[in-house]
């Protein structure tokens, strides 16, 4: 993939700004219009965003479920993928959830 879709870039920007609901909305639009190997990647990012949203709203069961699902999907891709350092992303994602995962 040479040129990254605008919706992807917007979704990453929103994720980085901790606007997880809007990130989910933008990436879901992209996911529904995508075919091929990127589709599961986008789905993994959507699940990561919703997992962070649930975590912030104290829905810890939902957060843990989406953490596991997102991680399972994103681990299938090489790093970097779509210019995202997935190794670092997954390390940071795990760090955010570590206390919940240890409980």
The Cα–Cα gap between 88 and 80 comes to 9
Residue written as tokens 């919703």? Answer: 50
H-helix or E-strand spanning residue 53 = helix 38-56
Dihedral over Cα of 20, 18, 78, 81: its sign: positive
pLDDT bucket at 1, cuts 50 / 70 / 90: low
DSSP-assigned letter for residue 2: -
What is the average pLDDT across 83-89? Answer: 95
The Cα–Cα gap between 63 and 30 comes to 22
Instruction: Note the pTM of the prediction, 2 decimals.
Output: 0.92
Q: Residues 47, 69: contact at Cβ < 8 Å?
A: yes
Residue written as tokens 């809007």? Answer: 22
> pLDDT digit string (tens) for 42-74?
999 999 999 999 998 999 899 999 999 999 999
């Amino acid at each position: 993939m040479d040129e990254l879709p605008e919706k992807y870039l917007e979704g990453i920007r929103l994720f980085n700004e901790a606007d997880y609901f809007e990130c989910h909305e933008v990436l879901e639009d992209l996911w529904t219009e995508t075919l091929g190997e990127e589709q599961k990647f986008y789905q993994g990012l959507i699940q990561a965003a919703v997992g962070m949203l649930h975590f912030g709203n104290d829905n810890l069961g939902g957060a843990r479920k989406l953490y596991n699902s997102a991680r399972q999907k994103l681990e299938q891709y090489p790093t970097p993928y779509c210019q995202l350092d997935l190794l670092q992303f997954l390390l940071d994602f795990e760090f955010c959830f570590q206390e919940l995962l240890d409980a």
